[in-house]
Chains A and B, each alone.
Chain A
């Protein structure tokens, strides 16, 4: 087990294009979270999954954002019609679930929309 991995590490895209990020959690972890972080700020919660079920979405997540975890393993986060304001670090984390469990984070995907 090599921890949480995210791909790609960096993405530069033109405004209006669609982008998709992938997260592979720690294999025995059933919860997977997506966060967004801008410079100088803490991570902001976007959405999370319990196995393949998406349990909560932040109001920050506009209808241009969609996330999936089809088999309860890896997850994808897609942003359609990207805007410059979408430029940020997108972080994925996984946990074993239950109370009082620590989150393990990936290295993040840095998105730049030009």
Chain B
């Protein structure tokens, strides 16, 4: 079962533009994480935001978390063709040790 849903399902932009992806989830969480997956490959961890944090930055990535709305967003600034991939949010719930993933956003960045 999927904990989260991501929006949009697919996103196409030009290099240099910003990309914003949104994630909504259903239950209370310890943290929310974002992962990236290149086609047919494993997932790579990008950033983790704890439930008591509202915003976090890492390089060109900015993540926000609104626990009252059970939602998060991932912003990639100044996108590059190499950012083309699928992006997934994953939540670690309260009283659980597993990550539950969303449905993903497929990002295409055109050079």
Task: Give A residues with C-beta under 8 Å from B.
Answer: 4, 31, 33, 35, 40-45, 48, 50, 55-56, 58, 60, 89, 91, 93, 97, 99-100, 102-108, 110
Q: How many residues of B contact A (CB 8 A)?
A: 26
A103 and B42 contact, CB distance less than 8 A: no
The reply to whether the CB of B103 lies closer than 8 angstroms to some CB of chain A is yes
For B33, B45, B92, B99, the residue with the greatest tally of chain A CB atoms inside 10 Å of its CB is B99
Task: Give B residues with C-beta under 8 Å from A.
Answer: 1-2, 4, 30-31, 33, 35, 40-45, 48, 50, 88, 90, 92, 97-104
- CB-defined contacts of B102 to chain A, threshold 8 Å: 42
Instruction: Please tell me which one of the listed residues A41, A45, A108, A110 contacts residue B99 in the complex, with CB atoms under 8 A apart.
Output: A45
- CB-defined contacts of A97 to chain B, threshold 8 Å: 97
Majority-rule SS of B interface residues: strand
Chain A minimum-CB-distance residue to B10? A40
- CB-defined contacts of A40 to chain B, threshold 8 Å: 104
Chain B minimum-CB-distance residue to A42? B101
A110 and B40 contact, CB distance less than 8 A: yes
- CB-defined contacts of B31 to chain A, threshold 8 Å: 99-100
Q: How far is the CA of A110 from the CA of B100 in the complex (A)?
A: 20
A44 and B1 contact, CB distance less than 8 A: yes
Give the Cβ gap from B96 to chain A, nearest Cβ, in Å. 8
12 contacts between A and B (CB under 8 A): A41-B104, A45-B100, A48-B97, A56-B97, A91-B42, A91-B43, A100-B48, A102-B48, A103-B90, A103-B99, A107-B42, A110-B40
